[in-house]
Homo-oligomer: A and B are copies of this chain.
Amino acid sequence: MESLKTKIALEGRVLPGNILKVDNFLNHQVDVNFLRSVGDEFKKLFQDKEITKVLTAEVSGIAIGTVTAESLGVPMLFAKKYAGSNMDTDTYEAKVHSYTKNNDYLLRVSKRYLNKEDKVLIVDDFLANGCALAGLIELCLQSGATIVGCGVVIEKEFQGGREYLKKYNFPIESLAIVESMGDGKINFKA
Contacts and interface: CB of A to CB of B under 8 A. Distances in A.
Interface stretch (A23-31, A157-165, A180-188): A23-31
Contacts of A138: none
Nearest to A101: B84
A33 B69 CA distance: 9
Q: What is the count of identical protomers in the complex?
A: 2
Contacts of A33: 70, 73
A175 interface: no
Contacts of A179: none
Interface residues of A, number: 46
Nearest to A67: B66
Contacts of A76: 29-30, 32, 63
Interface stretch (A2-10, A109-117, A166-174): A109-117
A66 B112 contact: no
Contacts of A112: 24, 29
Q: Which of A33, A62, A69, A76 neighbours the largest number of chain B CB atoms within 10 Å of its CB?
A: A62
Interface string A1-44: 00000000000000101010101110011111101100000000
A14 to B, nearest CB: 11
Contact of A58 (B23, B59, B66): B59
A109 B28 contact: yes
B80 A30 contact: no
A51 interface: no
A143 to B, nearest CB: 13
Interface string A67-110: 10110011111101110111110000000001011100000011
A74 B25 CA distance: 12
Nearest to A23: B110
